[in-house]
Amino acid sequence: MKNIVIKCETLENTKKLAKNFARLVNNKGCFVNLFGDIGAGKTAFVRLTAEALGVKEKVTSPSFVILNEYHSANIPIYHFDLYRLEHTGISTITDELREYSEGKKITFVEWAEFSQGELPFERIEINVTYDDDDSRIYEFKSIGENNKYIIEGLNQCGY
Ligand SMILES: Nc1ncnc2c1ncn2[C@@H]1O[C@H](COP(=O)(O)OP(=O)(O)OP(=O)(O)O)[C@@H](O)[C@H]1O
Ligand SMILES: [Mg+2]
């Protein structure tokens, strides 16, 4: 199983989804690409996952600073937002991104569609779409074999 689509009709549902996701990635870590329009719910998912993992600091959007990192949970968390870099800028940090995909850490990357072809590593892609008001659709896809267990785990918990 490589894909799962989960509808979150409220922010509370997204919180439950993030909790389940956090439990699944807590041991091994994961490299996660998030796609979706402005305001879809990419940062909201990262924030809720980081909180579920035990991050103590306030989790904010890294859109101006490009990278936020959190070291107060039992696994390090890195959160990139590449929106401001645009196409050419992103190709200059591909090697750095690759390093963030290795070892026991969780790395989230928003707005990486610019560099899709340059991200060959094992990862989870999350596509977020706005449904209406507080309803959002989260689609999870495993790229490569290593993260299929996450999709299967999410399938078992429902949210
Ligand atoms: N079910 C839901 N799931 C996620 N977010 C929700 C939900 N309902 C309402 N929201 C709200 O939608 C907004 C999503 O904004 P967010 O910053 O996460 O978007 P984004 O995809 O990161 O956008 P950007 O491309 O600007 O970074 C938040 O204000 C969040 O509280
Ligand atoms: Mg965001």
Closest listed ligand to the CA of 39: 1
Atom of ligand 1 nearest to the CA of 9: 1
Domain ranges of the chain: 3-157
What are the pLDDT digits (tens) for 36-80? 999 999 999 999 999 999 999 999 999 888 999 999 999 999 999
Distance 47 CA to ligand 1 centre (A): 10
pTM for this structure? 0.95
Q: Which of 49, 98, 94 has its CA nearest to residue 70?
A: 49
pLDDT, greater one: 132 or 97: 132
Mean pLDDT of the chain: 91
Quick one: tokens of 48? 């809720």
Ligand 1 proximity of 49 Cβ (cutoff 6 Å):
no
**Secondary structure E strands in the chain:** 3-8, 30-35, 67-70, 77-81, 106-110, 123-132, 135-143
Q: Which of 54, 58, 47 has its CA nearest to residue 72?
A: 54
What are the pLDDT digits (tens) for 93-103? 888 888 898 99
Structurally, what CATH architecture does the domain formed by 3-157 represent? Answer: 3-Layer(aba) Sandwich (3.40)
